[in-house]
Amino acid sequence: MKICSFGETLIDFTPVGVSENGNIIFERNPGGAPANLAVAAVKHGVQASFIGEVGDDIFGQFLNEKLKGEGVDTEYMVINSRYKTTLAFVQLDEKGERSFCFYRNPGADTMIESQAVNLRAIDECEIFHYGSVSMTHNPARITTFELIKYAQQKGKLLSFDPNLRMPLWNSEEEARHEIRHGLQFCDILKVAEEELIFLTGCKTLEEGARQIAKKYKTPLILITEGSQGSHALIHDYYINAPAFPVSVVDTTGAGDGFLGCFLASFLKSQKTLEQLSGEDVYQMLRLANASGALSVTRKGGMPSLVTTEEAQALLDQQPEG
């Protein structure tokens, strides 16, 4: 059971306090949604590999070592000495919600080319996962869709998290166009509430999910709604799973923890999407909600990700009903 996650890994500089001079202190944290997801999958008991490109610099070396230390297969990581590793500075508001300022013009992650990728990474997996950050610039955009099509030809399940970061796009129109292109291929789509509204314009999440399912024939759609829990649309059934009340510190990585947990649970079930029942999906959502909830109580993206045992312990504290 293995997930291959493709896209960006980068440094999140996360605020951790204020210096004696009144300046914000930033902590270097490993991040990037596809990399976070690979780590989350490993923490939830399945194998994961990561395909991405970093610079031959202290940040790229740190990310490679960190992913390897977390148990992710980094054999397919590309090191490019011509470009620097992308950096992101995170700002947190009083509710722990984050915004990003990126240093990436270009970043090594945007420059990955398909000929640099060892396709064995996809051959070995059951699920190929991708996001939209790798779609913002070429050649990474071209590479993304080439790998998607290769995975599809190989009969792999495709998972897509748009993970919309508007500062990285030239325009909203470009973002919608490329993300909708990505929707054409995925079997499992995970979207946050605001991303679903951005893509569909629908006023309700169920309406938006049904619009996407009808247009793109997406078998499983997962929707995260923060403190309101999560939802899923499968076999024409719309399912809701409640959130866990926690004190929010930093929401970075929560969606990655949620999806990594869900995909791992799905793989461990050894069922196909067609075989999943509504109850199966509901229970997977509950565990994924617990995983995401715990991550927001900690700072950083990758460092906040939790294990199945930790998520299950929170789940046991809040029985159904």
- What's the confidence (pLDDT) of residue 207? 97
- Tell me whether strands 24-31 and 47-51 are parallel, antiparallel or unpaired: unpaired
Whether 123 and 154 have beta carbons less than 8 Å apart is answered as yes
pLDDT at 123: 98
Q: Could you tell me the strand order of the sheet in which 98-103 lies?
A: 24-31, 10-18, 87-92, 98-103
Q: Tell me, what's the pLDDT at 181?
A: 98
Distance CA 279, CA 191 (A): 21
Domains present along the chain, CATH in parentheses: 2-7+31-84+105-317 (3.40.1190.20)
Q: What is the pLDDT, as a whole number, of residue 321?
A: 54
Distances (CA, A) of 14 to 7, 25, 126: 21, 8, 33
pLDDT per position in the chain (321 positions), as tens?
999 999 999 998 988 889 999 999 999 999 999 999 999 999 999 999 999 999 999 999 999 999 999 999 999 999 999 999 999 998 777 665 667 889 998 999 999 999 999 999 999 999 999 999 999 999 999 999 999 999 999 999 999 999 999 999 999 999 999 999 999 999 999 999 999 999 999 989 999 999 999 999 999 999 999 889 999 999 999 999 999 999 998 888 899 999 999 999 999 999 999 999 999 999 999 999 999 999 999 988 899 999 999 999 999 987 665
**What is the model's pLDDT at position 96?**
59
- Listed in sequence order, the residues at least 6 apart from 56 whose beta carbon sits closer than 8 Å to its beta carbon are 79, 80, 81
Task: Tell me the C-alpha distance between 112 and 29, whole Å.
Answer: 22
Amino acid 97: pLDDT:
67
Flag whether the pTM goes above 0.75: yes
The tokens for 307 are: 């294990």
Structure tokens at 6: 């493709």
Query: What is the DSSP code (8-state) at residue 149?
Result: H
For residue 80, what are the β-bridge partners?
Answer: 55
Neighbouring C-alpha atoms within 13 Å toward the C-beta of 35: 31
| pLDDT number for residue 250 | 83
Torsion angles phi and psi, residue 221, rounded to 5: -120, 125
Q: Give DSSP secondary structure letters for 215-275.
A: HH--SEEEEE-GGG-EEEEETTEEEEE-------S--TTHHHHHHHHHHHHHHHHT--TTT
Find where tokens 């955009």 sit. Answer: 141
* Helix axis angle, 33-43 to 58-69, nearest 10°: 20
